[in-house]
A and B are shown apart, each in its own frame.
Chain A
Amino acid sequence: MTQFVHRIIAALTKPTGNATTYIQHHLTNLCLGSCNPITHQPVGFFAVQIDTIVFALIPILVVVTLSLWLGKRMSSGTPGHLQNLVESIVEFVAGQVNDALPVRDPMIGSIALTAFLWILLMNTMDLVPVDLIPTIAHIFGIPDVRVVPTTDLNTTFAAALTVFALVLFYNVKVKGFLGYLKSFLFHPFGKYLVPVNVVMTTIEEVAKPLSLALRLFGNMFAGELVFLLIALIGGTASIGWGLAIWLPVQAGLDVVWLLFHLLVVTLQAFIFMVLTIVYLAMAHTGVEGHAVTDVSHG
């Protein structure tokens, strides 16, 4: 017991080094497998970043448990607060899907809902104070923890590549394999520039998952980094009367950035869902379909 108390005190008062090591420490994942033993960065293919997986699974568990719990208590009369919330989210997503899709496909609705809820909840981990979970983990002897799964490029690329696979699947399902290949031939510049058309359409297809993954990663990583920089304001000030100035500055900036980041968190999850729907809707239009492509291309 006393040993545990000592560890808590050590974790709370541990020297954090300078600003660079503080930020580097917070941007390092808990790596398992083929990792560099000094920098803890993954070096091979078989490196698993445990914290990303764990903190990405927690939102799923929350949603699944809540849904199961709520599913038994659904009422067709006056709904409770939670049922109201869940119903409004489902109706909101269903409305977006029905507006954009030319066909009714219940699978796409659930894909969109999953993408929205999961990414929203993963992004929301960004609103947990940056030092809280790493400090708690340090008490239990875990050296590095990175809380927000979407600040890890692996997560965003996994999500984007899943969407890409779905886009390919629906393209082949709707147009047929040859029909899909035919859409590569004549698309932007007509029939006289077929090689350029093939290259450009291929680039466009590859650009879809890239832009999905990089937008989400970029926004969340930048947000996390700004939180870290704000945390450094008070952290690097020396103990003394200077803190009377710097701590209120830090708290004020933190609140402002938190409020702004609430918007970013929701918006990025929503944009990811919208683009998923748009790409899947584009897969459902014909080769010359312009009805949906007008708002496409994130």
Chain B
Amino acid sequence: MNLLFQRSAQSGYGTYLASMLIAGFLLGYGVDRIASTTPLFILVFTAIGLFGGLYRLSEMLGHEERQEPHP
């Protein structure tokens, strides 16, 4: 895996967090529309999206820290 490729893929980490949040909201909105339980799943799925995004982000960044330690 060359460096340019790796850095470009990493440049999207910030957007990843936001997208997880939005995706959680959208999925929750969809489930709520079907089940007509309006605020419930939006809140739950958005929370899962937020914390899942943070968890995955810390996982990915932690992995890179271990791979290439700072001088």
Interface residues, chain A, CB within 8 Å of chain B? 95-96, 99-100, 188, 196, 199-200, 202-204, 206-208, 210-211, 214-215, 267, 270-271, 274-275, 278, 294-298
Task: From known contacts A199-B48, A210-B22, infer whether A188 and B15 are also in contact, taking CB-CB under 8 Å.
Answer: no
B45–A99 touching, CB < 8 Å: no
A206 to B20, CA, bound (A): 8
B27–A211 touching, CB < 8 Å: no
| A211 partner, pick from B10, B12, B24, B67, beta carbons under 8 A | B12
Interface residues, chain B, CB within 8 Å of chain A? 1-2, 5-6, 8-13, 15-16, 18-20, 22-24, 26-27, 45, 48-49, 52-53, 55-56, 60, 63-64, 67
- What does DSSP make chain B's interface, helix, strand, loop or mixed? helix
A207-B23, A270-B8 given; name 4 further pairs at CB < 8 Å.
A208-B19, A210-B26, A214-B18, A294-B67
A294 to B68, CA, bound (A): 13
Q: Can you list the 4 inter-chain pairs with the closest CB atoms, starting with the nearest?
A: A298-B12, A211-B19, A206-B23, A207-B19
A200–B19 touching, CB < 8 Å: no
- Minimal beta-carbon separation of B13 from chain A (angstroms): 7
A203 to B20, CA, bound (A): 6
Write 29 A-B pairs (CB below 8 A) sorted by A numbering: A95-B2, A99-B1, A99-B2, A99-B5, A188-B52, A188-B55, A200-B52, A203-B24, A203-B45, A203-B49, A203-B52, A207-B16, A207-B20, A210-B19, A211-B12, A211-B15, A211-B18, A271-B8, A274-B8, A278-B9, A294-B60, A294-B64, A295-B1, A295-B9, A296-B60, A297-B13, A298-B12, A298-B15, A298-B16
B23–A203 touching, CB < 8 Å: yes
Task: From known contacts A188-B52, A188-B56, infer whether A203 and B27 are also in contact, taking CB-CB under 8 Å.
Answer: yes
A298 to B57, CA, bound (A): 10
- Minimal beta-carbon separation of B18 from chain A (angstroms): 7
A58 to B4, CA, bound (A): 30
- Minimal beta-carbon separation of B5 from chain A (angstroms): 6
With a CB–CB cut-off of 8 A, which chain A residues contact B9? 271, 274-275, 278, 295-298
- Minimal beta-carbon separation of B30 from chain A (angstroms): 10
With a CB–CB cut-off of 8 A, which chain B residues contact A99? 1-2, 5
Q: CB-nearest residue of chain A relative to B2? A: A99
- Minimal beta-carbon separation of B46 from chain A (angstroms): 9
- Minimal beta-carbon separation of B20 from chain A (angstroms): 5
A298 to B64, CA, bound (A): 15
- Minimal beta-carbon separation of B31 from chain A (angstroms): 10
A215 to B8, CA, bound (A): 13
- Minimal beta-carbon separation of A186 from chain B (angstroms): 15
Task: From known contacts A99-B2, A211-B12, A271-B11, infer whether A204 and B18 are also in contact, taking CB-CB under 8 Å.
Answer: no
Q: CB-nearest residue of chain A relative to B60? A: A297
With a CB–CB cut-off of 8 A, which chain A residues contact B48? 196, 199-200, 203
With a CB–CB cut-off of 8 A, which chain B residues contact A202? 27
